[in-house]
């Protein structure tokens, strides 16, 4: 049994991130989670670029611990005719990362869109701002802005009615903002175009849930030898939110999904990024039970919290507030960590925009002070459970 603590990390978007590496050090993290977001999806990450980013991080006295994310090109997710080229590029990026000593890689297999929210500044009772997902607002986007064929069948009648009523009260500026929020994607990367989304939805209609599962298994089988040879651990990020949206299938949303992914290519490199926020938004997910089912292959942790209502709308709550019982989660996480030769990296995922950050331009969910608060709370919770100073 080891007595090391979880590895405290912090997501940093690179030199353009409003939060500096000096800020990260003051927050108390020692590891950095970063990626080369400026490289177009599907292109090889050059070794020199990787080394440059690593050198910047290390010059500040920190360590690049996890790569999040190396994006999986849509050609792979859909297994188009040119997919093999992108598989080869992916493998080369992995080789280059391993050559720089980077061995823990996060990725997702969500079709087209990354995480999806309908509002980025929901005001909390204390004046802080949080990210929010609301089904009525998504229906307004889907039915009345995007105008997806057959979309109405995907929503309960009461949500369709609420969307119609609310639409009548919204200004053009509010509709434009909703469109921007839904299509946002990752900071420093471009937003998705409506026509691209429309074409992709048609493509995924043919592929379906089972087809997407098979394509993920094919991707993992294709990189298995490279990952094993280089001692790389791949960690799939759960779907966010963890249910089908806009007619797109989801395959990493539940315990059954994650167990199926691990079994599809049952090798040690094939692992999970355990995200309590994404999984916690699922109304049927038991977070402790889910962790226990996959814990031996959890190589990265995102710890954050959500509060849901009876419709399944949710906002991102304080790290120790919300529906996820973080005390019970931290108990099983630290128990597993005590068995590891190397500590599991975790980051305080997302955080409220609060205090002085309310007056700054920040990446949605990634302001400094809200995450500093989350890291401090999670660190204290871990210490209270383990007594490990």
Structure confidence at residue 387 as a pLDDT band (50, 70, 90): very high
Check whether 188 has a pLDDT greater than 60.
no
The answer to whether 350 is a known catalytic residue is yes
Residue 389's pLDDT is what? 80
Residue 3's pLDDT is what? 73
Catalytic residue among 318, 349, 352, 357: 349
Check whether 154 has a pLDDT greater than 80.
yes
Catalytic residue among 155, 350, 352, 357: 350
Summarize the confidence of residues 354-380 as an average pLDDT. Answer: 96
The answer to whether 352 is a known catalytic residue is no
Summarize the confidence of residues 362-373 as an average pLDDT. Answer: 96
**Over the stretch 302-355, which tens digit does the pLDDT of each residue have?**
999 999 999 999 999 999 999 999 999 999 999 999 999 999 999 999 999 999
Residue 113's pLDDT is what? 87
**Tokens 């590895």 sit at which residue?**
7
Q: Report the Cα 144 to chain-centroid distance in Å.
A: 28
Catalytic residue among 137, 227, 302, 357: 302
Nearest-angstrom CA–CA distance, 319 and 304:
5
List CB contacts of 114: < 8 A, sequence separation 6 or more.
108, 185, 186, 240
Structure confidence at residue 150 as a pLDDT band (50, 70, 90): very high
The answer to whether 302 is a known catalytic residue is yes
- Is 119 in contact with 166 (CB distance < 8 Å)? no
Catalytic residue among 137, 142, 237, 273: 237
Check whether 189 has a pLDDT greater than 80.
no
- Is 90 in contact with 32 (CB distance < 8 Å)? no
Give this prediction's pTM: 0.96
Nearest-angstrom CA–CA distance, 91 and 229:
11
Domains, in order of start, for the chain: 7-115+193-386 (3.20.20.150)
**Over the stretch 97-142, which tens digit does the pLDDT of each residue have?**
999 999 999 999 999 888 899 999 999 999 999 999 999 999 999 9
Residue 388's pLDDT is what? 84
Q: Report the Cα 106 to chain-centroid distance in Å.
A: 9
The answer to whether 239 is a known catalytic residue is no
Residue 32's pLDDT is what? 98
Check whether 294 has a pLDDT greater than 60.
yes
Q: Which whole-number Å values give the CA distances from 206 to 78, 79, 249, 259, 261, in the listed order?
A: 10, 12, 11, 25, 21
**Over the stretch 3-42, which tens digit does the pLDDT of each residue have?**
789 999 999 999 999 999 999 999 999 999 999 999 999 9
Catalytic residue among 227, 240, 275, 319: 275
Q: What is the mean pLDDT of the chain?
A: 96
The answer to whether 144 is a known catalytic residue is no
Half-sphere exposure of 364 (CA within 13 A, CB side): 20
Residue 2's pLDDT is what? 63
**Over the stretch 31-89, which tens digit does the pLDDT of each residue have?**
999 999 999 999 999 999 999 999 999 999 999 999 999 999 999 999 999 999 999 99
Residue 114's pLDDT is what? 85
The answer to whether 275 is a known catalytic residue is yes
Backbone conformation region of residue 268, classed left if phi is above 0, alpha if psi is from -120 to 50, else beta? alpha
Structure confidence at residue 1 as a pLDDT band (50, 70, 90): low
Helix (H), strand (E) counts: the chain: 13, 12
Structure confidence at residue 173 as a pLDDT band (50, 70, 90): very high
Residue 275's pLDDT is what? 98
Summarize the confidence of residues 226-231 as an average pLDDT. Answer: 98
Bond into 136 cis (ω within 30): no
Going 291 to 279 to 83 to 104, the CA torsion angle's sign is negative
């Amino acid at each position: 049994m080891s007595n090391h603590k979880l590895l405290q990390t912090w997501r940093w978007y690179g030199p353009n991130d409003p939060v500096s590496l000096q800020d990260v050090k003051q927050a108390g993290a020692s590891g950095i989670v970063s990626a080369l977001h400026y490289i177009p999806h599907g292109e090889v990450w050059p070794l020199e670029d990787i080394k440059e980013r690593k050198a910047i991080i290390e010059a500040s006295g920190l360590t690049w611990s996890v790569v999040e994310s190396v994006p999986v090109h849509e050609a792979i997710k859909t297994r188009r005719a040119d997919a093999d080229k992108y598989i080869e590029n992916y493998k080369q990026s992995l080789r280059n990362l391993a050559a720089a000593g980077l061995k823990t890689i996060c990725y997702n297999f969500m079709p087209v869109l990354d995480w999806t929210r309908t509002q980025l500044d929901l005001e909390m009772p204390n004046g802080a701002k949080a990210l929010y997902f609301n089904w009525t607002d998504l229906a307004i986007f889907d039915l009345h802005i995007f105008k997806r064929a057959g979309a109405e069948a995907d929503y309960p009648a009461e949500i369709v009615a609420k969307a119609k009523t609310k639409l009548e009260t919204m200004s053009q500026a509010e509709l434009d903002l909703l469109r921007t929020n839904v299509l946002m994607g990752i900071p420093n990367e471009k937003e998705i175009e409506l026509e691209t989304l429309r074409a992709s939805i048609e493509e995924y209609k043919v592929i379906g849930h089972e087809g997407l599962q098979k394509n993920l298994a094919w991707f993992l089988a294709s990189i298995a030898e490279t990952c094993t040879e280089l001692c790389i651990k791949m960690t799939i990020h759960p779907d966010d939110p963890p249910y089908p949206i806009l007619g797109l299938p989801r395959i990493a949303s539940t315990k059954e999904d994650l167990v199926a992914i691990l079994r599809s290519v049952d090798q040690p490199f094939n692992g999970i990024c355990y995200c309590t926020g994404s999984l916690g938004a699922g109304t049927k997910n038991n977070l402790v039970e889910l962790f226990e089912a996959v814990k031996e292959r959890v190589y990265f942790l995102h710890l954050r919290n959500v509060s849901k209502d009876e419709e399944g709308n949710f906002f991102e709550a304080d790290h120790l507030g919300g529906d996820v019982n973080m005390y019970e989660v931290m108990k099983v996480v630290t128990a597993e960590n005590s068995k590891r030769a190397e500590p599991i990296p975790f980051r305080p995922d997302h955080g409220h925009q609060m205090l002085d950050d309310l007056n700054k331009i920040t990446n949605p969910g990634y302001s400094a002070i809200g995450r500093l608060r989350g890291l401090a709370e999670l660190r204290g919770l871990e210490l209270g459970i383990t007594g490990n100073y």
